[in-house]
Structure 1
Amino acid sequence: MVLQWDLIGEAERRVLADPLRLRSVRRLIGGPLPDEAFDRVAMLVRKLVDAPMGVVCLVDLDRQVLAGQVGVPDPLASTREMPLTHSFSRHVVTAGEMQVVSDVRSDPRMRDNPAIAEIGAIAYAGAPITDPDGLIVGTLCAVDHEPRVWTPSEIALLSELAAVCSSEVCLRIARAAADEARRTAESAHQQLELLAELTESLAATMDVEEAMRRLGGIVTSRLADWCVVAIADDPGGPASVVATHRDPERATDMGRLAALADFARDDLRSMLLAVRRGGRPFRSGDGAADLRSRIADTELAEITTRAGFGASLIVPISSPVRRRALGAVLLVNHPERRGFTAAEEWTAAEIGRRAGLAVENSRLYREQRHVAEVLQRSMLTDLPEIPGVELHARYLPAQDGAAVGGDWYDAFVQPDGSVIVAVGDVSGHDIEAAATMGQLRNLVRGDAYGRDEEPGALLTALDNTLHGLRVPASATMVLARVRKSATGYAIGFGNAGHPPPLLLLPDGSVQVWWVPPEPLLGLPPREPRSTDHRDVPPGSTLLLYTDGLVEDRDQFLDDGIDRLSAVLRTYAGSPGDELCTRLLEVAPHRSDDIALLLVRLG
């Protein structure tokens, strides 16, 4: 036995060696590894708690099995087990409650654990996973490589996900029992698949309305003939309602039902709100009786009759963070179908819990996105008014789930009368990228203002500054200087891994300023960057932009540039603001931020 029993107390030995607990553990570890369901939960831990490692641990008598993991280094990631000498989770089992440790090196129970050196485990938070008898069979844990103060919301999310794991553990243990229990477990496995599919689907969107539609689609494909999902983040405010039917021909009815339920406070919506307030499921074998007694609106009653109002089940949607109900899910079967079973009620309750987790995740995402967007917009430049030069700029955040990123533009006049213009894109899509963008923009201004060097030399100086000050920036950028010349304008520009500038000439033709590629900003200093020069006639328009305006995973970069060139030619005579709008209209999918700067040279 790897663990030295004489090093732990009698009470701890008794808990670890409990035969009933070990029976549950060994029923669980007999399955195949890796376990996709638990791996997905571990991935959710890493995404939602932002920890390098997420692990679902099952604690046996002399070993710990990693039923699900993400971020654990080999060979542990491959073997999926470790001796108890390496286990922090055994302390959760023996203590009987969640363990949250900012630095295990300062904890007398954990500071000698070999996992500190072998996998770099410094901060640990582990929530218990329990079997049907409430015995702790393992933990869902998050591990960081450096000291960390775990926040109350992170602890709440970890506890909620551990409860999800406990639910799945209970299903698996039930599946391993006698013939009737095995038949029940087969049904439970289908419900587990439903819950796993639902969890994965909800985790893939940050939009509450879209999450409600996905929930309705999955529930009506597996569990009920039709359903209504109602969510109201403000207890006294209006509810968002989505209705879904298994039969696609009922889509129009369901849309109308959702609209009516949103306003009919005394009818179907009141049923949902009652369960929301009570916080407990309500199961009825005679949905028609509920229909007669609760739905007074004639049109609503007709729609639900056509949909088939038989057995019904209503479960709350609960917030794991704020510990209150946010809404409810109504599941309904056709009158010819059987009523909902106790197992299906449990599954429906789990659906409500996971929906609540999705709503909270969306709320936190919106808050972070709002902060990042406000931060980014506050850092974007008010364009100067320059005689003979007309400037227009646009910034748009991504639309399809990516957070605000580090796209930016800038323009300012030098003491010698030349104009510096720049567009850049800091890697990343979060508030850190937006903050880094602000640093980079200020460094560009600080390094360039009052200096008459070529743009390539300015970019080289910026490389040295970023490296010397250890600014964690990896970015692309085009930096250009615009000067008056005898024939119009002389433009010198440097390109650090950025899409090429476009020039619309007075005759309507478009030049694409391709240059030999140079590395991104933020890499270790290299040989000096180059500057390319162009003579530009009056009446021309220079376009600088970020890759969100042209890049499409299904097309080549040249195709996106061709689209921009066509817009420039078609709307060459349009006002600058209108031309910017037209350029944004051809952006592909809007899966990335977009910044563009239009420089019209009179």
Structure 2
Amino acid sequence: MSEDTPGCRAVPLPTLAEPERLRSLAETRLGATPDEAFDRFARLAADLLDVPVALVSLVTADRQFLPGATGLPEPWAARRETPLSHSFCQHVVEIEAPMVLPDARLHPRVRGNLAIEDLGVVAYAGMPLTDLDGRVLGSLCAVDSKPRAWTAEQLRTLADLAAACSSELRLRIALRSAEQARRRAEEAHDRLAMLAGMSETLGGTLDVATAVDRLGRAMVPLFADWCLITLTDPAGRPRSVSGAHRDPDRAADLARFAELLATGLGPDSVIRSVLRTGRPVIRGTATPADVERGTTEPDLAPLAERLGFGSHLSVPITAAGDRVIGAVTLVNGPSRRGFDGSDLRTALDIGRRASQAVGNSRLYGEQRHVAEVLQQSMLPTLPVVPGVELAARYQPAADRVEVGGDWYDAFVQPDGDLIAGIGDVAGHDIEAAATMGQLRNLVRGDAYGRDDPVDELMTHLDRAIQGLPVPTVASAVLARVRPAASGLLVSWCNAGHPPPLLVPADGPVQVLDGIRGPLLGLAHPPRRARRELTLAPGDTLLLHTDGLIERRDRPIDEGQAELVTQLAGAAGLPLVALCDQLLAAAQRREDDVALLALRAR
């Protein structure tokens, strides 16, 4: 049979594809499965009109499905749907009026329809089924397998049944609309809650990677099926792309998509347009072909299809002066509704909050880098001393940008003795760092060239702090190290500082607690005391600040005991590796950490 034969067209009727009609049809939530209410209408029509077949047919752009049916032959009775090649009801939708045929074989519109041969349709009477706006969704039809002269009474009965059937369809649509309205209200409430909490969520960190991760998790799946956050380098080029997906099983695909996107944006890319112009872009309907047009990476379109690509929108992330530093891209799969103007307004709000968070994180990162460089510039280069191995580390707290007051020092006296010290000035700001620099210089100036015992050096330091004056309270350990017949002789004085630890080459770790004097900088400094020990070859003396062992959620004694446990069996480690291991174990530090370790060779 030719494609041009009437009733067997290859191209669907234009009316069938009208978006509003299809949307209304979808809102009935009916499909190719039996529905008791509509089966009842079909049975009533068959009984009242005395026909072998009656159908409630709803017509899409490419098929008809039958939620109500009686008398259909197999396999159609089980399938509950037919292609349009077997549909008379499509013409009821097209003409938006009843269609009554005593003998379809004689009617030019449908005489080529395959329903005549395959379903035995000869006589046909179909009444429109409409929604509240009068759009025809389908037909309630009566069918006979032989010619039939339909009476006025039969057609009036069928029209009455169709009106009642239309009411049932409208009720289904209204219930669906009410459900959608309720869902949209809940969604709007959830979005407001998300926006209300987003500033606090993003403001809880000054780390860019953490802020971006939190942003993605806040938007998915509430606002989108998946998202991308693109950040630029100073030249405005994409520097990093990350995101989140509602399906954890798609994490690998999303990571690969983000990796390729960072270098694969083409000149027609939506994200590149947003980065260049600072203007948002929204596409209520999209396909992976759109991705293909906007990228130089051929693998991105297949990845987008696996991730789900039905609509998207992108908004800028800006810094001070409206300089674009990134973009937020939201994507919904084909099964989720497309983005609209309301979504765009919400996304722009998210973009503004992301701008503040990312901008603050970047500023923090820059300031932190400057602070660390400043701090490191205040720390000395360790000397090379015969018979002594030295290693030191300084690491600032993970969640602060300020320079701190922790310090260490080691220098060689004219007579060859080594003076080693470590300390902590109260405070965590530029003033504490400046005071730390003064204190370290006082230690050097006070001790250099003098062979006084370390307790007397510490007493001189007390007097200098009071007399100059240096406005500080600080803790410190000062040690003098000199060669001895059996290794190294160490004498030290402790001014309110965590005690040194001895890590013998062979034996248990010892906490050298002993006499711990008051802090430096007190109005009436006390007489200081010293202690001595001998380091045999391979023995290690560890000096550290309290950031290594102190936590707000536990007593400092527990931190001290944990440090002793970490040092057990570490005597054989190279000194540099030992210091690195201790820093790595100090997770989520709440304070700066300084370490100074010396080992007898």
The TM-score, its normalising length taken from structure 1, stands at: 0.62
Partner of 2:327: 328
Give the match's secondary structure for 1:250.
helix
**Residue 310, structure 1, aligned to residue 310, structure 2:** yes
Which residue of the partner structure matches residue 406 of structure 2?
A: 407
- Classify 1:248/1:185 alpha carbon distance in 2 versus 1 (closer, same or farther; 3 Å): closer
Within the alignment, does 1:512 sit opposite 2:511 as a pair? yes
Q: 8 Å contact 1:476–1:496 — kept in the other structure?
A: yes
What secondary structure does 2:314 align onto? Answer: strand
- 1:566, 1:314 → 2: CA distance? 52
Q: Per the alignment, in what secondary structure is the counterpart of residue 381 of structure 2?
A: coil
Q: Which residue of 2 aligns with 1:445?
A: 444
1:250 CA displacement: 1.7
Separation (CA, whole Å) in 2 of partners of 1:396 and 1:273: 39
Q: Cα deviations across residues 32-86 of structure 1 (Å, max 9, x unaligned)?
A: xxxxxxxxxxxxxxxxxxxxxxxxxxxxxxxxxxxxxxxxxxxxxxxxxxxxxxx
CA-to-aligned-CA distance 1:306-341 (integer Å, 9 cap, x gap): 22222322111111x242111111112232333334
Cα distance, 1:422 vs. partner?
A: 0.6
Partner of 2:255: 255
Q: Structure 1 CA distance, aligned partners of 2:509 and 2:443?
A: 28
Partner of 1:193: 193
Residues 218 and 468 (structure 1), Cα distance of their counterparts in 2 relative to 1, 3 Å cut? farther
* SS across alignment from 2:310: coil
- Alignment-derived partner of residue 536 in structure 1: 534
Alpha-carbon deviation of 1:480? Answer: 1.8
Give the match's secondary structure for 2:408.
strand
Which residue of structure 2 lines up, in the alignment, with residue 242 of structure 1?
242
Q: Which amino acid aligns with 2:579?
A: C
- Give me the whole-angstrom Cα distance separating, in 2, the residues matched to 1:529 and 1:276: 67
Counterpart of 1:549?
A: 548
* Secondary structure of 1:343 counterpart: helix
CA apart distance, 1:461? 3.9
Q: CA separation in 1, counterparts of 2:395 and 2:574?
A: 20
Q: Give the aligned residue type for 2:196.
A: A
- Kindly tell me: are residues 431 and 344 of structure 1, through their superposed partners in 2, closer, same or farther at Cα, counting changes over 3 Å? farther
- Inter-CA distance 243–495: structure 2 relative to 1 (3 Å threshold): same
Following superposition, the deviation at residue 215 of structure 1 comes to 0.8
Q: 1:334 to 1:567 in 2, by over 3 A?
A: closer
How has the CA–CA distance of structure 1 residues 586 and 212 changed in structure 2, closer, same or farther, with 3 Å as cutoff?
A: closer
Question: What's the CA shift for 1:584?
Answer: 3.5
Q: Is the 8 A contact 2:317 2:354 kept in 1?
A: yes
Residues 406 and 545 in structure 2, CA contact (< 8 A), matched pair in contact too: yes
Is the CA contact 1:396–1:593 (under 8 Å) kept in the aligned structure 2? Answer: yes
Kept in 2: contact 1:231–1:326 (CA 8 A)? yes
- CA change 1:247–1:594 in 2 (3 A) is same
Shift of 1:562: 4.1
Q: Does the CA-based 8 Å contact 2:316-2:324 persist in structure 1?
A: yes
Q: Show the counterpart of 1:580.
A: 579
- Map of 2:378 onto structure 1: 379
* Counterpart contact for 1:267–1:297, Cα < 8 Å: no
* SS of equivalent residue, structure 1 residue 227: strand
Residue 336 of structure 2 aligns to which amino acid in structure 1? Answer: R
Aligned residue for 2:299, secondary structure, equals helix
Alpha-carbon separation, structure 2, partners of 1:584 and 1:276? 40
Deviates more, 1:401-410 or 1:251-260: 401-410
Secondary structure of 1:531 counterpart: coil
Q: Work out the CA distance in 2 between the residues paired with 1:467 and 1:397.
A: 29
Amino acid at match of 1:392: A
**Counterpart AA for 1:498:** H
Secondary structure of the structure 2 residue equivalent to 1:222: coil
Counterpart AA for 1:426: V
Deviation, 1:349, is 0.9
Alignment partner, residue 351 of structure 1: 350
The 2-side partners of 1:340 and 1:472 are apart by 61
Pairing 1:301–2:298 present: no
User: Structure 1 pair 474/300, CA: closer, same or farther in 2 (3 Å)?
Assistant: farther
How far off is 1:457 after superposition? 4.1
2:35 alignment counterpart = none
Task: Spell out, residue by residue over 1:241-285, the C-alpha distance to the aligned partner (whole angstroms, 9 max, x if none).
Answer: 0121122222112111111211212289x2112012221222221
Q: Secondary structure at the match of 1:251?
A: helix
Task: Write the deviation string for residues 534-582 of structure 1: whole angstroms up to 9, x where unpaired.
Answer: 2325323211112233334555544444454455452324443343334
Map 1:265-284; keep pairs closer than 5 Å. Answer: 265-266=265-266, 270-284=269-283
Contact 2:423 2:545 in 1 (8 A): yes
Write the distance in 1 (CA, Å) between the matches of 2:559 and 2:298: 54
Distance 1:238 1:330 in 2: 13
- Per the alignment, residue 68 of structure 1 pairs with none
Matches within 5 A, 1:399-478: 399=398, 403-469=402-468, 471-478=470-477
Aligned counterparts of 2:470 and 2:345: Cα–Cα separation in 1 = 51
Query: Is contact 1:243-1:257 (8 Å) kept?
Result: no
Structure-2 change in CA distance of 1:224 and 1:470 (3 Å): farther
Instruction: Report the Cα distance in structure 1 between the residues aligned to 2:557 and 2:210, rounded to whole angstroms.
Output: 33
Matched residues, number: 419
- Residues 331, 569 of structure 1: CA spacing in aligned structure 2 closer, same or farther, 3 A cutoff? closer
Q: Quickly say closer, same or farther: Cα 1:390–1:249, change in 2 above 3 A.
A: closer
SS in structure 2 opposite 1:477?
strand
Take 2:488 and 2:240, find their aligned partners in 1: how far apart are those partners? 56
In the alignment, is the contact (CA less than 8 A) between 2:212 and 2:229 conserved in 1?
yes
Give the Cα separation in 2 of the matches to 1:346 and 1:502. Answer: 60
Give the unaligned 5+ runs of structure 1.
1-181
Give the structure 1 partner of residue 146 of structure 2: none
- My pick for the range that moved more, 528-537 or 554-563, is 554-563
TM-score, scaled relative to structure 2:
0.62
Which consecutive unaligned segments of at least 5 residues does structure 2 have? Answer: 1-181
**Pairs within 5 Å for 1:43-442:** 190-266=190-266, 270-288=269-287, 290-291=290-291, 293-294=293-294, 297-319=297-319, 321-399=320-398, 403-442=402-441
Task: Say if 1:514 and 1:402 are closer, same or farther in 2 by CA, change over 3 A.
Answer: farther
CA distance in 1 between partners of 2:450 and 2:568 (Å): 35
Per the TM alignment, residue 421 of structure 1 is displaced from its structure 2 partner at its CA by 0.9
Partner in structure 1 of residue 597 of structure 2: 598
d(CA) in 2 for partners of 1:491 and 1:316? Answer: 62
**Rounded Cα–Cα distance in structure 1 between residues aligned with 2:582 and 2:312:** 51
Would the aligned equivalents of 1:375 and 1:435 in 2 still touch at CA under 8 Å? no
Tell whether the 8 Å contact from 1:313 to 1:340 is kept in structure 2 after alignment: yes
SS at match of 1:570: coil
RMSD, aligned α-carbons:
3.2
Cα 1:435–1:461 shift into 2, 3 Å: same
| Conserved? CA contact 2:233–2:325, under 8 Å | yes
Specify whether residues 529 and 240 from structure 1 end up closer, same or farther in structure 2 by C-alpha distance, changes over 3 A only: farther
**Pair 1:431–1:373, CA change in 2 (3 A):** farther
2:220 partner SS:
helix
For residues 121-148 of structure 1, give each alpha carbon's deviation from its aligned partner in whole angstroms, at most 9, with x where no partner exists. xxxxxxxxxxxxxxxxxxxxxxxxxxxx
Letter in 1 for 2:405: G
DSSP-derived class of the 2:273 partner: helix
Whether contact under 8 Å (1:391, 1:598) holds in the other structure is yes
Residue 322 of structure 2 aligns to a residue whose secondary structure is: coil
Deviation track 1:421-460 (CA, whole Å, cap 9, x = no partner) reads 1112234444444333222211221222234444344334
Is the contact made by 1:456 and 1:528 (CA closer than 8 Å) also made in structure 2?
no
Distance in 1 between residues matched to 2:396 and 2:548, nearest whole Å: 11
1:454-510 residue CA offsets vs partner (Å, 9 max, x unmatched): 434433443444455454434332112234567665433222332210113353332
Letter of the 1:436 partner, please give it: T
* Matches of 2:331 and 2:570, distance apart in 1: 55
